[in-house]
């Protein structure tokens, strides 16, 4: 999990906000799959994870988060029929240093991309600290796509991989 979180932070620091948002929205799926007995996630598991671990956004439901995740990852958009908002507006760092976060403008939800991603990362960190030793997490973690600095035997060894 640490490498995935580092990657999101690196993307934020590099100004790759779309990738950061996409990965931040996928993090609950990864966590829900890790703690699942079969290593897989569902929409209901994603939403249950968000209900428990993403608590800073009273205006954002787990259905909204799941709809955002589905929209961004699968269709490249934020609007979804199941969301309570017509749009999501992620503000990004700007020369005026304006920060607008967690407010509603007409029928759109406004979130600051950096704050939102860091909040999602913090939720994952809290989850991982609480769940890292649970049997399902321990069993599923080796299957997680991750950076492997010495490769992955018996396939490729002696060189770094993401596998």
Q: Number of helices (H) and strands (E), helices first, in the chain?
A: 6, 7
Phi/psi of residue 157, each to 5°? -130, 160
pLDDT score, position 75: 79
pLDDT score, position 83: 84
Q: Which portions of the chain are predicted below pLDDT 70?
A: 79-80
- Tokens standing for 128? 């991982």
Which pairs count as long-range contacts for 102-109, CB under 8 Å and 24+ apart, including other chains?
Answer: 102/56, 102/57, 102/59, 102/60, 104/59, 109/59, 109/60, 109/64, 109/85
Cα 158 from chain centroid? 31
For the chain, how many structural domains are there in total? Answer: 1
Contact of 148 with 163, CB cutoff 8 Å: yes
What Cα–Cα distance (Å) separates residue 36 from each residue in 23, 67, 86?
Answer: 20, 21, 32
Domain containing residue 118: 2-162
The pLDDT tens digits for 95-129 are: 888 889 999 999 999 999 999 999 999 999 999 99
Length of the chain (residues): 163
pLDDT score, position 79: 65
Contact of 19 with 11, CB cutoff 8 Å: yes
pTM across the whole model: 0.91
pLDDT score, position 80: 67
pLDDT score, position 77: 73
pLDDT score, position 73: 85
């Amino acid at each position: 999990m640490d490498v995935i979180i580092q990657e999101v932070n690196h993307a934020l620091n590099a100004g790759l906000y779309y990738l950061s948002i996409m990965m931040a929205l996928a993090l609950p799926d990864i966590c829900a799959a890790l703690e699942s007995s079969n290593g897989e996630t569902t929409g209901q598991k994603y939403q249950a994870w968000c209900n428990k671990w993403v608590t800073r956004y009273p205006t954002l439901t787990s259905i909204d988060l799941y709809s955002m995740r589905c929209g961004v990852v699968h269709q490249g958009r934020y609007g979804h029929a199941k969301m309570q908002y017509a749009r999501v507006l992620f503000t990004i760092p700007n020369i005026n240093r304006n920060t607008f976060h967690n407010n509603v403008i007409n029928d759109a939800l406004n979130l600051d991309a950096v704050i939102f991603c860091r909040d999602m990362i913090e939720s994952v960190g809290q989850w991982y600290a609480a769940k890292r030793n649970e049997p399902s997490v321990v069993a599923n973690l080796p299957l997680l796509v991750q950076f492997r600095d010495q490769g992955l035997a018996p396939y490729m060894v002696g060189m770094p991989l993401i596998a």
